[in-house]
């Protein structure tokens, strides 16, 4: 697993749990508002990555203080060994929260079926007609819809999240996103943090308001 960063202790990333946060390296989206730009490219020098063994040693050294691990990105589901990584975290006694952009429903199906996640959070970034604008890449929205359905139908605790970027999403767009969320599933609106946005224009425009 390519791990680009680690927060050894968080009270806010895994609802109701203490957790370490593993930031996986590499993402298939280029969201203009992304504030984790350093995690987007998968092609970073190996010495910038945290070796998996070191990651698990750190976890074990803190196992009395941690309930779980949040696996976030980047985008964790584009890494081929994600299922094995999650299985090992669970076998070492930790709960798993997975954050995803929903682009790989086949991976989500596999990890849900195998009981490898205890909480899953998926970004629903935009109404379908303008999804590409918010991801910065051509995005097959059928895959986004498939992931939403899979997660909503699973028995796993979950939430859908939308980052409210006023320069890119109107109130009407936010309403349209809400309609994509199945009834019974939580939908959380997140504040946009402009300081480190991938698109420099968003940093500037945020300062103007």
Binding site for ligand SF4 (CB under 6 A): 27, 29-31, 34, 36, 39-40, 73-75, 101
Q: Smallest Cα–Cα separation from 71: which of 36, 95, 105, 47?
A: 95
Peptide bond into 196 cis (omega under 30): no
Q: Return the number of the residue (64 or 138) whose C-beta is nearest ligand SF4.
A: 138
Q: Return the number of the residue (18 or 143) whose C-beta is nearest ligand SF4.
A: 143
Least Cβ distance, residue 75 to ligand SF4 (angstroms): 5
Q: Smallest Cα–Cα separation from 20: which of 35, 4, 12, 9?
A: 9
Least Cβ distance, residue 34 to ligand SF4 (angstroms): 3
H helix intervals, the chain: 52-61, 82-91, 105-113, 131-135, 141-153, 171-180, 200-207
Q: Return the number of the residue (18 or 136) whose C-beta is nearest ligand SF4.
A: 136
Least Cβ distance, residue 136 to ligand SF4 (angstroms): 7
Q: Return the number of the residue (30 or 153) whose C-beta is nearest ligand SF4.
A: 30
Least Cβ distance, residue 155 to ligand SF4 (angstroms): 25
| Residue 2 and residue 24 in contact, taking contact as beta carbons nearer than 8 Å | yes
Least Cβ distance, residue 198 to ligand SF4 (angstroms): 7
Hey, CA dihedral for 37, 14, 123, 204, is it positive or negative?
A: negative
Q: Return the number of the residue (99 or 118) whose C-beta is nearest ligand SF4.
A: 99
CA torsion 82→78→203→130, rounded to 10°?
A: -130
């Amino acid at each position: 697993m390519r791990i680009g960063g680690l927060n050894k202790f968080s009270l806010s990333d895994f609802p109701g749990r203490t957790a370490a946060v593993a930031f996986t390296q590499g993402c298939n989206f280029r969201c203009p508002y992304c504030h984790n730009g350093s995690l987007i490219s998968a092609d970073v020098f190996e010495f910038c990555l945290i070796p998996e063994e070191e990651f698990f040693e750190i976890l074990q050294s803190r196992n009395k203080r941690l309930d779980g691990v949040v696996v976030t990105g980047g985008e964790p589901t584009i890494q081929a060994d994600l299922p094995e990584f999650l299985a090992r975290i669970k076998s070492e006694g930790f709960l798993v929260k997975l954050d995803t952009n929903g682009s790989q429903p086949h991976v989500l199906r596999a990890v849900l079926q195998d009981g490898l996640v205890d909480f899953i959070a998926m970004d629903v970034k935009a109404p379908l007609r303008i999804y590409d604008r918010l991801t910065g890449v051509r995005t097959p929205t059928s895959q986004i819809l498939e992931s939403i359905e899979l997660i909503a139908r699973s028995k796993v605790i979950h939430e859908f999240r939308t980052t409210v970027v006023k320069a890119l999403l109107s109130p009407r767009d936010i309403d349209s996103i809400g309609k994509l969320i199945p009834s019974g599933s939580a939908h959380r609106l997140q504040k946009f943090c402009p300081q480190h946005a991938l698109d420099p224009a968003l940093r500037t425009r945020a300062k103007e308001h």
